[in-house]
Amino acid sequence: MLEVSIMNIRELSREIAQIVKQVKPSIVTISTEIPHPSLFFGYEPVKGYGSGFVIAPGYIVTNAHVVARAAEVRVVFSDGFISEAEVLAIDPSRDLALLRTIEHGVPIKLGDSDRVEVGEIVLAIGSPLGLLENSVTMGVVSAVGRTLSTQQVFLEDLIQTDAAINPGNSGGPLINLEGEAIGVTTAIIPFAQGIGFAIPINTVKRFIKMIERYGRPVHAWIGVYVMPVNPTLSALYNIPVSEGLLVVRVIPGSPAERSGLLEGDIIVSANDKPTKKTSDLRSVIEDSIDKSHVELEVVRGSKRFKLKTGIIIQ
């Protein structure tokens, strides 16, 4: 049984306050001006606001939708210093953007989102509602590996949290109690009782790696949509394995279709590495760009076999 004393609560409170103080120099407010058609004057700038954080001297991560279509981007650091920023790379499919600005602030420590557990206490820090002052909300990780589909974007492998994420928080970090960024807060569902989502920090790391290697965000694609298999799903639908990735859609004309992969197949490994999460498959595919193919181990009914599928780079 969990026993919590008043002293423990006070210690936790002081610890959280110290974490916020520690990461505050890394958090920035992002101000944008987006050209908007005007009835009488052609175009007039519309201001927008979001959040972001320093990942290396002179480099800031935020959401793609925060800076999309912006003609001007400014960064306001926690000490009030303001700098112009250049959008170095933007990836709407991951809802991530990398900004380059003057070296200021303190790079945040990046955690390992593969180690995030349901029930873990997290902090969402940002500049909600366009206020030029950071605010903090606390909650727990309520789920991992979530998929968010809207008319604008399809995001996979998200961290779900009940920490309040308001407009303007987008692009700010989701922090664990080690003071590490484990995600980038990206969206809320307005009618879902405060459910918020964050892009895993390991996705950010791969986004940066692709930019360093290819000069732009690169997508390696085989043409499938998958969902993780768990014991509950396995029992409900009589799936022959309790771990893996269930193929829910195969894109017509894709390498996956040409290789013979079918909807209902379960991918249990890729290049001999277990695939328990969508990010496991994506990582192996991206690491296999130079080989231009990936070998999948597939379960179909009572059969288990391997097949090779090509990779398309976008």
User: Are both 175 and 198 inside the same structural domain?
Assistant: yes
Same domain assignment for residues 145 and 169: yes
Q: Is residue 185 part of a domain?
A: yes
* CATH classification of the domain holding 164: 2.40.10.10
% of the chain beyond a pLDDT of 70: 90
Could you tell me the pLDDT band of residue 218, with boundaries at 50, 70 and 90? confident
Nearest of 150, 134, 151, 249 to residue 192 by alpha carbon: 150
pLDDT of residue 74: 95
Question: Domain check: are 165 and 244 in the same one?
Answer: no
Q: Residue 3: its pLDDT value, please?
A: 63
Name the residue with higher pLDDT: 149 or 106.
106
Q: What is the mean pLDDT of residues 277-290?
A: 89
pLDDT (mean) for 149-157:
72
Q: Which residues are tagged catalytic? A: 65, 95, 170
* Same-domain pairing of 232 and 209: no
Q: What percent of the chain clears pLDDT 90, i.e. is strictly above it? A: 58
Global confidence as pTM: 0.85
Q: How many domains does the chain have?
A: 3
Q: Is residue 179 part of a domain?
A: yes
Mean pLDDT of 170-177: 95
3-state helix/strand/coil string of 61-94: EECHHHHCCCCEEEEEECCCCEEECEEEEEECCC
> Which backbone phi and psi does 12 adopt, to 5 degrees?
-65, -40
126 lies in some domain = yes
Domain boundary among 77, 100, 123: 100
Backbone angles phi, psi at 125, to 5 degrees: -120, 130
Do residues 286 and 308 share a domain? Answer: yes
- Say yes or no: 201 and 226 in one domain: no
Cβ burial 58-88 (10 Å sphere, 16+ → b, else e): bbbbbbbbbbbebeebbbbbbeeeebebebe
Answer whether residue 150 shows pLDDT above 60. Answer: yes
Asked which of 100, 128, 146 is the last residue of a domain, the reply is 100
Determine, yes or no, domain membership for 106: no
Report yes or no: 171 and 51 within 8 Å, Cβ to Cβ. Answer: yes
Residue 108 lies in a domain: no
Q: Residue 261: its pLDDT value, please? A: 96
pLDDT at 7 over 70: no
Q: Is residue 1 part of a domain?
A: no
Cα–Cα distance for residue pair 123/132, rounded to 1 Å: 18
Do 83 and 143 belong to one domain? Answer: no
Q: Let me know whether 178 and 235 are in one domain.
A: no
Residues 227, 280 within the same domain: yes
Taking the C-alpha atoms of residue 174 and residue 75, their distance in angstroms, rounded to an integer, is 19
Please give the distance of CA 100 from its chain centroid, rounded to a whole number.
20
Given 36, 69, 100, the domain boundary residue is 100
Q: Which of 8-17, 114-123, 183-192 has the highest mean pLDDT?
A: 114-123
User: Amino acid identity, residue 183?
Assistant: G
User: Of the given ranges (74-78, 112-116, 267-271, 289-293), which has the lowest mean pLDDT?
Assistant: 289-293
* Least confident stretch, 82-86, 152-156, 208-212: 152-156
Per-residue pLDDT at 152? 64
If you average pLDDT over residues 27-39, what whole number do you get? Answer: 84
Looking at the domain assignment, is residue 267 inside a domain?
Answer: yes
Residue 164 is part of which domain span? 113-214
Considering the domain architecture, whether residues 131 and 86 belong to the same structural domain is answered as: no
Asked if residue 122 and residue 207 are part of one domain, the reply reads: yes
Instruction: Decide: 158 and 197 in contact? Cβ < 8 Å.
Output: yes
